[in-house]
Amino acid sequence: MADISLNTAPQSVDSLQSSYMAQVQRRRLYGGLTLLIFVVLMVSGFNIADERNAGGFWEGLHNIGDYPADVLSEAWAKRADLPALIAKYFPALVETINIAAVSTLLGTIGGVLLSLLGTRGLAKWPRLIPLFRRISDIMRAVPEIVIALVLIFVLGGGPVPAMIAIAIHTAGALGKMFSEVAENTDIKPVEGLASTGATWSQRMLLGVLPQVAPNYVSYTLLRFEINIRASAILGFVGAGGIGYELRNAMAWGPGRFDEAGAIFILLFGTIVFFDQVSSRYRNRLTEGQGQ
């Protein structure tokens, strides 16, 4: 047997134990303080918010189910009309999905460009990296609904302003996510291509995109789901699609709740459908690489 001693202790076990215990005590103290601060902030913040709330949180809490109950009971009472209403609003749903699809496509192209130009090690103009990063910050900082409202004011209502608004936000958001993926790429293939005299676009297209494609596609599909919801919401401010119909049905109040119910079913079904399709496709991309 080898002569390896398992007991070599220049520093005594006792002193190691006490110094580690001191470290643990300090960590527990910090942990306890953090917890205390968290609880104090949450409780005091809630109290302030509750005081400023017009109706009061606790008095209003038990009414929270009233509106959904009204909608559901009326929709249930008129359930025979639902299939016809779903068929009636299906074209509006298609318009909403179209807005989401086009804006996701445009936003993705913008996001890829912004990410490659804003990633250290890949950027064409390294000095301009901060510029492209700030552009993508601004694009995702402004909410879609604000851009849409401005554009609707300028261009008038309809799907085009909604599409532009969502595309701008998508480009900013995906630019950020894409550049985080791009930062982790292996630079060696890019160097290999550079050594053959390839241009920047050729290096990105052939050296970087194949590496990042599965992640990019996965983020894009996730963004598409988000954009379906966003484009439905933009309908509320006059951008057309199913959101516009939903606002009309809901603003009418009791009497058209069956229509609101049909639209909710359509929206819910669509989001579940695309969620399932895209998660299946994303799983295949991440697991089935190289097959």
Partner 1 sequence: MVAYPPLRHGGDMLQIDKLTKRFGDKIAVVTANVSIDKPTMIGIIGRSGAGKSTLLRMVNRLSDATSGTITFEGEDVTALRGAARRNWQSRCAMIFQQFNLVPRMDVVSNVLHGTLNRRSTFATMFNLYPQSDIHKAIEILDRLGIAEQASKRAEALSGGQQQRVAIARALMQDPKIILADEPIASLDPMNAQVVMQSLRTIHEEDGRMVIANLHTLDTARRYCDRVIGMRDGRIVFDGTPAQLTTGVARDIYGAGADFSEAATSTEIETLDRPEVREAEAYV
Length of the chain: 291
Residue 8 makes contact with partner 1 by CB under 8 A: yes
Which strand (E) or helix (H) includes residue 126? none
Residues 134-163, interacting with partner 1 (CB under 8 A): none
Binding of residue 2 to partner 1 (CB under 8 A): yes
Question: Any contact of residue 20 with partner 1 (CB under 8 A)?
Answer: yes
The verdict on 19 binding partner 1 (CB under 8 A) reads: yes
- Residue 17 near partner 1 by CB under 8 A: yes
Range in contact with partner 1 (rule: CB under 8 A) among 23-31, 42-50, 111-119, 201-209 = 23-31
**Maximum Cα–Cα distance for the chain, whole Å?**
89
Identify residues 48-107 at the interface with partner 1 (CB under 8 A).
Answer: none
For the chain, state the CA radius of gyration: 27
Regarding 7 and contact with partner 1 (CB under 8 A), the answer is yes
Out of 26, 28, 120, 134, the only residue in the binding site for partner 1 (CB under 8 A) is 28
Q: Tokens for 155?
A: 């261009």
Q: Could you identify the residue written with the tokens 């049905």?
A: 249
Residue number with CB closer to partner 1 (29 or 41): 29
* SS3 track for 208-240: HHHHHHHHHHHHHHHHHHHHHHHHHHHHHHCCC
> What would the two tokens of residue 215 be?
């992640």
In the bound complex, what is the minimum distance in angstroms from residue 4's beta carbon to partner 1? 5
Residues that bind partner 1 (CB under 8 A): 1-2, 4-11, 13, 16-17, 19-21, 23-24, 27-28, 31-32, 35
